[in-house]
C-alpha cells in the first residue's frame, strides 16, 4: 500500500485533488481511497487529506501517520504544521514552489511551481490560483498514475480545458 | 468487481441507490455529515433525473412525520438524517414502525452533544434500538449502496413491513471516496403493495385507540415480523448475490474459523479490524473478526463458542456499559468478553490500536481507550 498525505489550506482544493488522485489510480486498475480529514477548519486554515493506493481493496479508515509521500500544496502551512511528521525514511516530498526549499536529508524532494502555472493558464477562482488540477499532472510525472488516467480524472470533474492545460504544463515542468 | 467503477462518497452512494429505488416522496432536513445525501437527491429531483416529490421541512420531526403521511398512502418513501436529527425524530420513529410503514432512511452516525462534535459515534442510532426499526451498519461505499437497495426490498416485504435504517460512520464513510459499482437493480426491488394503505374506495380507521386488550397483540405482531425479517434478509442477500455477485451476511466474518480470539465491531472499525487480525496472525495470535451488520434484528447464530471476544463499542450506555458488549452477553450468556470503549466522538482508533486491544485483553473487564489504567 502506498500512503500519501496532502497538506493544503481550506478552499485550495486539496480534497478534490485527493479525489482525482484516487480516481486516476483506480483508472489504472488499482484500488484507492481518498479521505479528507474534516476538522473545524474553514477557508484558509491548514487541512490534511489522505490518499491510499493499493493492489487490493483498502480496508483502513484511520488517518495516515507514516506516509510514503507528502504533498505540500501551500508551503506556508509549514510555518504551523510539522508536515514531515511520520514521513518514512526515503519518502517523497512534493512541494508547490518556484524556489528550492531546504528539507532534512533522507527524503526525495520534488517541486513544481503550480501556483505560477495556474496564474499563467488563468486558472483563478475568486482571486485564488487553483492548484489541484496542476498537481495531478505533476504526480503523473512522478509515476503515481499514468498521464492518461490523470487527465481522465480531471475531465471527469472539470470541463474547462484550462485545468487539463495546467496539468499538462505541470507534467512537463515538474523538477525531478 | 466486474462493472464500471465510479468514485463516490458514502453519502452520494446512498443517494444514488435511493434514486435507483424510485421513491415517490422524499422528505428531509439537512444535518452534518448527512447533508450531501439529501442535497444530491434534491439535485436529482430538480434536474428531473428523479421523479419524486421532494418535501423540504422545518425539522427532522416533521421530516419523519411527512414520510409517515406519504408512506401510509402506499408509496415508496426515503429520508436521511444524522445524530441530533435522528433523536429529534425519536417519537415518530416509534410511530413509523408501529404503523408498519416500510420507510427507508439513510442514517449517518455522529456524536451527540454537548460538547458539539460532528464526528463518528454509534450512540445516536443504538439509542433508537427499541423503536422497531431494522438497523444495518455498513463499512464501505459499495456496501452502503448495496444495503440501501436491499433495504427497500426487505422493508416492503409483506412478512416484514417495518422501516429500515442504513447506518454509516460520519465522515469516515460518509465523506470518504472509494471506487464502487453503481449496479442497476432492474426488478430486484418489486413494486410496493402496502396491504393497509389508505384507499378511499375501501375506507379504514387509522390512528384509532388500541385499548389494553388489543395493543399487546399489535406489538407481538411487530416482533413476529422482526423475527421473520431474519429470513427475508437472508433471502434478499442470497438473491442479491445471485444477481449482482456480491456476498453479504448479517455478520461479516473474517478468519474466524480457526480463531482463538475474535474482534467484534460495527461499521468502519469492523472493516479495519481485518487489518488488525492480519497483523496479529503475523505475530502468531490466531485472531479473526466478526463485523455485525444487522443490529436489529440482532444475530442469534454467531459462532463464538469457545472463542474469546474483544468487543469494541463506539457507543456507551451510562450506568451499564458498551451496548454491543451488553447485547452479546445477554444473547450469548457464556460469551467471554473483553469490552473496549473506543472511538467515541470520532476518537482516532487504528488497526494497530485494535491489535493492542487484543493483546492486552482482560476477559470480564471494560477498558476505555485513552483513559489511564489507574482511572478505569
How close does chain A come to B314, measured CA to CA in Å? 14
Which pLDDT tens digit goes with each residue over B206-230?
888 999 999 999 999 999 999 999 9
CB contact under 8 A, B351 and A22: no
Domain of residue B123: give its range. Answer: 5-244
Looking at residue A175, what DSSP letter applies?
A: B
Which pLDDT tens digit goes with each residue over B247-286?
999 999 999 999 999 999 999 999 999 999 999 999 999 9
% of chain B residues with pLDDT over 70: 99
Query: What's phi and psi for A172, nearest 5 deg?
Result: -75, -30
Hey, is the C-beta of A62 within 8 angstroms of any chain B C-beta? yes
Asked if the bond preceding B33 is cis, omega within 30° of 0, the reply is: yes
% of chain B residues with pLDDT over 90: 97
Which pLDDT tens digit goes with each residue over B324-363?
999 999 999 999 999 999 999 999 999 999 999 999 999 9
What are chain A's domains? Answer: 2-110+143-161 (3.40.920.10)
Hey, is the C-beta of A36 within 8 angstroms of any chain B C-beta? yes
Please state, rounded to an integer, the average pLDDT across all residues of chain B.
97
CA B239, B242, B244: angle at the middle one, nearest 5?
100
Instruction: Name the grid cell of B26.
Output: 422524499
pLDDT of residue B3: 67
Q: How many CB atoms lie within 10 A of CB B254?
A: 20
Please give chain A's pLDDT, 176 residues, in tens. Answer: 999 999 998 878 888 999 999 999 999 999 999 998 877 666 778 889 999 999 999 999 999 999 999 999 999 999 999 999 999 999 999 999 999 999 999 999 999 999 999 999 999 888 888 899 999 999 999 999 999 999 999 999 899 999 999 999 999 998 87
- Statement to judge: residues B318 and B261 lie in one domain: yes
**Helix H or strand E segment including B321:** none
- Statement to judge: residues B319 and B205 lie in one domain: no
Place of cell 525531478: A176
- Statement to judge: residues B281 and B194 lie in one domain: no
pLDDT of residue B1: 43
Interface confidence (ipTM) of the complex: 0.93
- Statement to judge: residues B234 and B268 lie in one domain: no
How close does chain B come to A36, measured CA to CA in Å? 7
Tally of domains within chain B: 2
The residue from B225, B244, B263 where one domain ends is B244
The residue from B211, B244, B277 where one domain ends is B244
pLDDT of residue A43: 72
Indicate the burial class of A66 (C-beta count within 10 angstroms; 0-12, 13-18, 19 or more).
exposed
| Whether the predicted pLDDT of B35 surpasses 50 | yes
State the best of B2, B4, B7, B113 to mutate against chain A, taking most chain A CBs within 10 Å.
Answer: B7
Q: Which among A34, A38, A59 has CB closest to B271? A: A59
- Statement to judge: residues B236 and B262 lie in one domain: no
pLDDT of residue A40: 64
Hey, is the C-beta of A18 within 8 angstroms of any chain B C-beta? yes
- Statement to judge: residues B78 and B151 lie in one domain: yes
CA nearest B100: which of B164, B34, B150, B169? B164
- Statement to judge: residues B223 and B323 lie in one domain: no
The residue from B221, B244, B267 where one domain ends is B244
Amino acid at each position: 500500500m502506498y500512503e500519501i498525505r496532502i497538506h493544503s489550506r481550506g478552499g485550495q482544493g486539496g480534497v478534490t485533488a485527493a479525489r482525482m488522485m484516487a480516481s486516476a489510480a483506480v483508472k489504472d486498475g488499482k484500488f484507492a481511497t481518498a479521505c479528507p480529514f474534516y476538522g473545524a477548519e474553514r477557508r484558509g486554515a491548514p487541512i490534511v487529506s489522505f490518499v491510499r493506493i493499493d493492489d487490493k481493496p483498502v480496508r483502513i479508515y484511520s488517518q495516515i501517520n507514516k506516509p510514503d509521500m507528502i504533498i505540500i500544496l501551500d508551503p506556508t502551512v509549514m510555518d504551523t504544521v510539522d508536515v514531515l511528521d511520520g514521513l518514512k525514511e526515503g519518502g517523497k516530498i512534493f512541494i508547490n514552489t518556484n524556489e528550492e526549499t531546504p528539507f532534512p536529508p533522507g527524503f526525495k524532494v520534488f517541486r513544481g511551481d503550480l501556483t505560477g502555472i495556474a496564474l499563467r493558464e488563468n486558472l483563478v477562482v475568486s482571486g485564488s490560483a487553483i492548484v489541484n488540477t496542476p498537481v495531478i499532472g505533476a504526480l503523473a510525472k512522478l509515476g503515481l498514475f499514468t498521464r492518461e488516467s490523470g487527465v481522465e480524472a480531471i475531465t471527469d470533474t472539470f470541463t474547462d480545458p484550462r485545468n487539463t492545460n495546467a496539468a499538462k504544463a505541470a507534467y512537463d515542468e515538474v523538477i525531478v | 468487481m466486474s462493472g464500471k467503477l465510479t468514485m463516490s462518497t458514502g453519502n452520494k452512494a446512498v443517494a444514488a441507490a435511493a434514486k435507483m429505488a424510485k421513491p415517490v416522496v422524499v422528505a428531509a432536513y439537512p444535518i452534518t455529515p448527512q447533508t450531501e445525501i439529501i442535497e444530491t437527491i434534491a439535485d436529482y429531483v430538480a434536474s428531473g433525473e428523479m421523479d419524486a416529490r421532494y418535501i423540504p421541512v422545518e425539522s427532522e420531526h416533521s421530516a419523519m412525520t411527512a414520510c409517515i403521511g406519504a408512506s401510509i398512502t402506499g408509496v415508496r418513501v426515503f429520508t436521511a438524517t444524522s445524530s441530533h436529527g435522528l433523536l429529534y425524530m425519536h417519537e415518530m420513529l416509534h410511530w413509523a414502525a408501529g404503523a408498519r410503514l416500510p420507510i427507508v432512511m439513510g442514517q449517518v452516525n455522529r456524536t451527540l452533544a454537548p460538547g458539539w462534535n460532528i464526528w463518528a459515534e454509534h450512540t445516536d442510532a443504538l439509542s433508537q434500538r427499541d423503536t422497531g426499526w431494522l438497523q444495518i451498519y455498513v463499512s464501505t461505499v459499495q456496501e452502503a449502496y448495496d444495503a440501501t437497495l436491499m433495504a427497500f426490498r426487505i422493508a416492503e416485504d409483506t412478512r416484514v413491513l417495518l422501516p429500515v435504517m442504513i447506518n454509516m460512520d460520519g465522515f469516515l464513510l460518509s465523506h470518504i471516496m472509494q471506487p464502487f459499482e453503481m449496479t442497476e437493480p432492474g426488478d430486484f426491488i418489486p413494486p410496493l403493495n402496502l396491504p393497509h394503505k389508505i384507499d378511499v374506495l375501501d375506507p379504514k380507521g387509522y390512528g384509532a385507540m388500541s385499548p389494553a386488550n388489543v395493543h399487546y397483540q399489535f406489538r407481538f405482531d411487530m416482533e413476529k415480523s422482526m423475527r421473520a425479517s431474519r429470513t427475508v434478509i437472508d433471502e434478499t442477500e442470497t438473491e442479491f448475490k445471485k444477481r449482482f455477485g456480491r456476498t453479504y451476511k448479517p455478520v461479516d466474518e473474517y478468519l474466524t474459523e480457526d480463531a482463538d480470539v475474535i474482534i467484534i465491531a460495527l461499521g468502519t472499525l469492523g472493516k479495519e479490524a481485518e487489518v488488525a487480525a492480519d497483523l496479529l496472525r503475523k505475530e502468531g495470535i490466531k485472531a479473526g473478526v466478526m463485523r455485525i451488520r444487522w443490529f436489529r434484528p440482532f444475530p442469534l447464530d454467531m459462532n463464538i463458542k469457545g472463542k474469546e471476544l474483544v468487543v469494541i463499542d463506539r457507543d456507551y450506555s451510562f450506568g451499564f456499559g458498551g451496548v454491543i458488549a451488553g447485547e452479546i452477553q445477554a444473547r450469548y450468556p457464556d460469551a467471554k468478553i473483553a469490552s473496549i470503549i473506543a472511538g467515541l466522538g470520532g476518537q482516532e482508533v487504528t488497526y494497530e490500536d485494535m491489535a493492542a486491544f487484543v493483546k492486552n485483553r482482560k476477559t470480564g473487564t471494560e477498558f476505555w481507550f485513552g483513559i489511564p489504567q489507574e482511572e478505569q
